[in-house]
Amino acid sequence: MSMREPFEQAVARHGPAVMRVCRAVLRDQADAEDAWSETFLSALRAWPDLPASTNVEAWIVRVAQRRCVDLIRRRSRTPMPVEELPERPSTSGLPGAADGLWDEVAALPEKQRLAVAYHYLGGLPHAETAELTGSTPAAVRRAAADGVATLRRGLAPGTLPSPEGADR
């Protein structure tokens, strides 16, 4: 029987990938932070019963995907009135806000954005990404390649980072 790492170590190890996925899927930093928190609250509840053989990274990214979907559904049903619109959105705490990366990711067509988010930012294999998006691995591979090509065309040379999951 193999021992699973403590939950705190799993959060430290997989937290950044979960945030990248949430940010790319939801396009909004505040929503991404909410989904990130909900992901790890859900994971904490399930952690004691998780089989030791589980691929924790894939499992936690799938939990994040479900929390993102939940948040999208909840936000679509909840009106958010405001008295005044902010003068400009804050970029404090947004990774890559100055270079336009997240704007470029947000502008991708949905299939490309999700393929890039789950595969390149979340580190999932194309087969698991296909399962999450209801597609085929070949279609996901094509959408991810097209999305990355679009990002490369839209950003200055050297701006696009090499995420940890890119070699998968």
Indicate if the alpha-carbon torsion angle 118, 141, 160, 109 is positive or negative: negative
pLDDT tens column, 46-85: 999 999 899 999 999 999 999 999 988 887 777 777 888 7
Contact 51, 84 (CB under 8 A): no
pLDDT at residue 167, as a whole number: 44
pLDDT at residue 95, as a whole number: 54
Contact 129, 140 (CB under 8 A): yes
pLDDT at residue 90, as a whole number: 57
CA-nearest of 67, 62, 47 to 118 is 62
pTM of the model: 0.53
CA-nearest of 78, 77, 95 to 29 is 95
pLDDT at residue 1, as a whole number: 38
The parts of the chain modelled with pLDDT lower than 70 are 1-3, 86, 88-99, 156-168
Cα–Cα dist 129/49, whole Å: 24
Token pair recorded at residue 166: 């890119």
Give me the torsion for CA of 94, 44, 66, 4, rounded to 10°.
100
